Structure 1
Amino acid sequence: MSSYEDAPTFDEVERVMWADAGTAYEAVYAGLCAHTIPALLDAVGVTAGTALLDVGTGTGNAARAAVARGAEVTAIDAEPTMLDLARAKVPEARFEMATVPDLPFEPGTFDAVVGNFVLNHFGKPRAAMAALCSVAKPGGRVAFTLWPAEPTAGRTLFPRAWSVTEGWVPMDLPKIEESDDYPRTEEGLAELFRESGLEDVATSVIDWDHLTTAEDWWIGIASGVAGSGRAYMAQKPEVRAAFHRNYLEVAAEMSDEDGTMRLPSRALLAVGTVKA
Structure 2
Amino acid sequence: MVSSAQAREKYDQLVDRYEEIFFYVGDTGRRLIEFAAPPPGSRVLDVGAGRGAVTRAALALGCSVTAIDASPKMIERLVEDHPEVTGVAMDAAHLDFTAGSFDLATAGFVVQILDEPAVVLAEVHRVLAPGGTVALSLETQSVGRLGWFQELTLEFFAPATSEPVSPPPADTEASPGPMTHDRLDALLAETGFLDIERAPVEMPVPIADPPALWDWLMPRGLAEIQETLPADRRAEFRTRFLQGAQTMHDDGGITLDFAATLHRARRP
Q: For residues 72 and 145 of structure 2, what CA distance do their matches in structure 1 show?
A: 28
Alignment of 1:185 with 2:177, yes or no, is no
TM-score, with normalisation over the residues of structure 1? Answer: 0.76
Deviations 1:159-213 (A, max 9, x none): 3541343xx246xxxxxxx879587333222111101110111122222213565
Pair 185,120 (structure 1): closer, same or farther in 2 beyond 3 Å: closer
SS in 2 for 1:151: coil
Q: For residues 53 and 251 of structure 1, what CA distance do their matches in structure 2 show?
A: 42
Pair 127,20 (structure 1): closer, same or farther in 2 beyond 3 Å: same
**Match for residue 255 of structure 2?**
262
Stretches of structure 1 that go unaligned for 5 or more consecutive residues are 1-7, 171-177, 225-230
**Match for residue 130 of structure 1?**
122
1:147 maps to which of 139, 147, 154: 139
Deviations 1:39-61 (A, max 9, x none): 31123222321111111111111
Give 1:127 deviation, angstroms. Answer: 0.7
CA contact (8 A) 1:24 1:220 kept: no
Residues 188-267 of structure 1: pairs in structure 2 closer than 5 A: 188-211=183-206, 213-214=212-213, 215-221=215-221, 224=224, 231-251=225-245, 262-267=255-260
After TM superposition, where is structure 1 displaced by more than 6 Å over at least 4 residues in a row? none
Q: For residues 2 and 181 of structure 2, what CA distance do their matches in structure 1 show?
A: 27
Alignment of 1:37 with 2:29, yes or no, is yes
**Match for residue 14 of structure 2?**
21
CA contact (8 A) 2:30 2:53 kept: no
**Match for residue 174 of structure 1?**
none
Give 1:69 deviation, angstroms. Answer: 1.5
Instruction: Give the aligned residue type for 1:111.
Output: D
Give 1:263 deviation, angstroms. Answer: 1.5
Pair 271,82 (structure 1): closer, same or farther in 2 beyond 3 Å: same
SS in 2 for 1:22: coil
CA contact (8 A) 1:23 1:81 kept: no
Say which one has the larger Rg: 2
Worse overlay, 72-81 or 212-221: 212-221
Pair 10,93 (structure 1): closer, same or farther in 2 beyond 3 Å: closer
Aligned residues: 248
Instruction: Give the aligned residue type for 1:153.
Output: G
Q: CA RMSD in A?
A: 3.1
**Match for residue 58 of structure 2?**
66
Q: For residues 142 and 263 of structure 1, what CA distance do their matches in structure 2 show?
A: 29
CA contact (8 A) 2:200 2:262 kept: yes
TM-score, with normalisation over the residues of structure 2? Answer: 0.78
Pair 232,18 (structure 1): closer, same or farther in 2 beyond 3 Å: farther
Alignment of 1:82 with 2:74, yes or no, is yes
Give 1:104 deviation, angstroms. Answer: 1.9
Give 1:273 deviation, angstroms. Answer: 0.4
